Amino acid sequence: MTIHIFGDSFACTCDFNGQSDWYTSESDKKCCWPHQLSKLKNKEKLTCHAMAGTGPNFALARFVHHLEEEYIEDFDTVVMCLSDQKRLEFSFLKNKPWDSAYGIFQIAEDDYEGDDSFFERTKYNMNNDWKEVLEHDKEIKTIAQTLGPMFLYENVKNITFLHLIANNFKKIRFIVFTCFSLEHYLSYYKNFNIKSTKLLDTLTFDSLNTDNFDYVKIPIGHIVGSSPSHQPRPHNLINHMTAEQNTKFAQLVYDVILYNEIDKSWFVKDGPYDDPIEMSRKMEPLFIYE
């Protein structure tokens, strides 16, 4: 039996080359929750396919490939961490996904040009080839307008797609998280022409949970939170969690897999972790899907 992990940096255990260079020690790598989950499940084999900075399309494409090639077998466990739907890999950009995923759709906005706050929000990523992105702002805007308001429900579609897969693969256990809220500020992007989020805000997902499928409604970023900018997080690992939070999150996933009641006492009460690109936005409310 094997645990298969898919997602973005919240699910990462290594850097982009599969090395542990980003950790202060090899023990830090073993602190990350996927490895601890493996130990909780009697040292069950672990494969981690998560990559920092990527979106749900990237994770789902990897997942589908592994499912089609039968790398995922009966009695395995799949943990999917769906990231921000705005993180798309545009085929006309030469940059690798983790170089170009952050905040690309902000380029689609009519008022981005000359907006110092936009570049302030992306300054950590300015060493990448943003000139190439700027040269394709018209194409990106057209994509935003084409996708339209239904893109608001992209992760809802992804969750229900995974639910359909689970119904067809009854012997595989599926645990699904979102990393951020289901909207994750998408309604701020004018060129998607989103008129209302009322339906999204009132959706419930309890009926999706079955013997082999569970969707955890509280986003990971709302579970682990974020320290104030003037107070750096203590010994924060690549997946935005402290070592202690990794231990508790591994236990949470383990309890969901085994249908145990989960311990919410350690969840943050305020200050959710949000994509750094959105730091200028008003924080979205916590636990809006609970």
At position 32, the amino acid (one-letter code) is C
Residue of 275 and 191 predicted with greater confidence = 191
Quick check: 230 pLDDT over 50? no
Residue of 78 and 233 predicted with greater confidence = 78
Quick check: 232 pLDDT over 80? no
Domain extents for the chain?
A: 2-278
**Digit-coded pLDDT (tens) for 88-140:** 888 777 765 444 455 577 777 766 555 555 555 554 455 555 667 777 888 88
DSSP E strand stretches across the chain: 2-6, 45-48, 77-82, 173-178, 213-215
**What's the alpha-carbon Rg for the chain, to the nearest Å?**
19
CA 289 from centre of chain: 16
0.85 cut: is pTM over it? yes
Q: What's the CA gap between 1 and 76, in Å, rounded? A: 5
Architecture of the domain defined by 2-278 = 3-Layer(aba) Sandwich (3.40)
Q: Given this model, what pLDDT does residue 185 score?
A: 87
**Digit-coded pLDDT (tens) for 238-288:** 788 888 899 999 999 999 999 999 999 999 887 788 776 666 667 666 555
Range with the largest mean pLDDT of 6-15, 47-56, 71-80, 239-248 = 71-80
Quick check: 17 pLDDT over 50? no
